[in-house]
Structure 1
Amino acid sequence: MQETDFMTFRFRQFASGLTILAAFIGSASAATISVKVADAAGNPIQDAAVYAEPVTPPSGGRPKTAEIEQKSRKFMPLMTVVQTGTEISFPNNDTVRHHVYSFSPAKPFELKLYSGTPGTPILFDKPGTVVIGCNIHDQMVAYIQVVGTPHFGKTDQTGKVSIADLGPGKYRLKAWHYQLPSPAAPVETDLSVAKNDMTANLVLNIKAAGGSH
């Protein structure tokens, strides 16, 4: 191996090592918060939107996409959480046509009677709650919580969700569920994140499905 080739090889090894080191340092300085959402009786609440808003909002970000399917005369999933600036498509994979709409101030829109996938997704560019329905099938309903942060998730059947990659700083941890009376604000608590993983519990004033009081 010639000297110039050897020096190039060593430089690439060094640069690769720096990249790995930088990635390790970045991951080591980020924390994960494990959140449990329950009702007043301690019963877990599924499909709650949970999100951590930095006190100093993040700047920009790449465009994001999501999908809400129509099948068996239902919207799937029932609950969707997205960051502001996300484009959502609404494919109709059902055996009948649907007419999807929302009158919610955060994003009023209408997709007139159609099958298949509309050519243009809908851009959700304002934070807030969006309730969607079908103008043909009144029983069809779904909820979209648009949040101004990349740090979000949705609780599972145990009422738990983990939010990863939180850098050090101050946040407002919020939880919202579609059973909260409108226009109830999300439940929130202040959060100070360092380098260590954390846990948090939030209580919503609703009755969990299957819960008892």
Structure 2
Amino acid sequence: MFTFPQGQRVAHFAAALTVALSSTHVLAFKAQVRDQNGAPIEDAVVYAVPIDGRLPHTRPAPAMIMQKNKMFMPLVTVVQKGASVDFPNHDDIGHDVYSFSDPQRFELKIYRGASHPVVFDKTGVEVIGCNIHDTMIAYLLVVDTPYFAKTGHDGTATLPDLPRGSYRVLAWNYRQHDLDARSEQTIQTPAAMPVTFSLQLDPR
């Protein structure tokens, strides 16, 4: 049986490894989200869903939405379906946290300090409030992918760990008239970046 000399075997192995790694190489993906006037949108969510349906077998990362100074912080949170979310109360008064949204109706009766985590096992938008303080509001977007990010002041979102492949990339913001609306593009990574989305927002 013919065998490669030692040096050639190493070279062939290195070449094969390079090809294997390049096929799944993880990339940073950037998107910009702007409104109908071209202004950047802060707190928009951008998420990527693999067209082939393949997702990493990892446990969804937990999240936290705290209450402080009679406000929810952060205003917008995004998690993968199946994630648990804590709602700690850092005020010196009680809060009663609830949501009547279809994906997951829940209520955390008046409490201070730590909360019982809530697991969100359906996708969609959760509008979260306080039964005692009507001005308190937060938005939780539950998505079926671990590849997501929020935009900053400049309207840019960066998904740092997006493997090569084909994706449906969607953008969402809580100021849209229809909370279930998405702007969607199909992309192949690596893609020319940033990819730009335009959302129609209601006036503040």
Q: TM-score range by the shorter chain?
A: 0.7 to 0.9
TM-score, length of structure 2 as denominator length: 0.84
Structure 2 Cα separation of the partners of residues 42 and 197 of structure 1: 20
Structure 1, residues 41-79: CA drift from partner, whole Å, max 9, x if none?
210000001101111221542142110000000000000
Deviates more, 1:29-38 or 1:89-98: 29-38
Amino acid of the residue matched to residue 201 of structure 1? Answer: T
State how far apart, in whole Å, the 2-side matches of 1:90 and 1:182 are: 26
- Tell me, in whole angstroms, the C-alpha distance in 1 between the residues paired with 2:59 and 2:88: 23
Question: What is aligned with 1:156?
Answer: 152
Alpha-carbon shift at residue 26 of structure 1 (Å): 7.0
Are 2:108 and 1:111 aligned? yes
Shift in CA distance, 37/66, structure 1 to aligned 2, threshold 3 Å = same
Shift of 1:162: 0.7
- State the match for 1:99 in structure 2: 96
Residue type at the aligned position of 1:110: E
Structure 1 residue identity aligned to 2:36: A
What secondary structure is seen at the aligned counterpart in 1 of 2:194? strand
Are the equivalent residues in 1 in contact too, given 2:183–2:198 (CA < 8 A)? yes
d(CA) in 2 for partners of 1:52, 1:126: 17
Structure 1 segment 40-189 matched on structure 2, within 5 A: 40-57=36-53, 58=55, 60-118=57-115, 120-189=116-185
Work out the CA distance in 2 between the residues paired with 1:137 and 1:68: 16
Residues 1:27 and 1:137: Cα distance change in structure 2 (over 3 Å):
farther
Letter in 1 for 2:99: S
Q: Which runs of 4 or more aligned residues in structure 1 lie more than 3 Å from their structure 2 counterparts after TM superposition?
A: 24-28
Q: Which residue of 1 aligns with 2:196?
A: 201
Structure 2 unmatched runs, 5+? 1-13
- Find the aligned partners of 1:61 and 1:180 in 2 and give their Cα distance: 31
Given the superposition, is the C-alpha separation of residues 188 and 126 from structure 1 closer, same or farther in structure 2, using an over 3 Å criterion?
same
Identity of counterpart residues, as a percentage? Answer: 43
Whole-angstrom CA distance in 1 between matches of 2:75 and 2:92 = 19
Query: Could you tell me the TM-score, scaled by structure 1's length?
Result: 0.81
CA RMSD of aligned residues (A): 2.3
The one-character-per-residue Cα deviations of 1:185-211 (angstroms, maximum 9, x if unpaired) are 2111111114x67320000011687xx
Between Structure 1 and Structure 2, how many residues are aligned? 187
For structure 1, the 5+ residue unaligned runs are 1-17
169 and 208 in structure 1: CA distance in 2 versus 1, 3 angstrom threshold:
farther
C-alpha distance in 1, partners of 2:202/2:42? 11
Residue 95 of structure 1: how far off its partner (Å) = 1.7
Question: 2:60, 2:79 within 8 Å by CA — same for their partners in 1?
Answer: no
Once the two structures are TM-superposed, the CA of residue 183 in structure 1 deviates from its matched residue by 4.4
Conserved 8 A contact 1:45-1:208: no
Q: Is the 8 A contact 1:43 1:208 kept in 2?
A: no
**Structure 1 letter corresponding to 2:141:** Q
CA contact (8 A) 1:32 1:198 kept: no
User: Is the 1:27–1:165 contact (alpha carbons within 8 Å) kept by the matching residues of 2?
Assistant: no
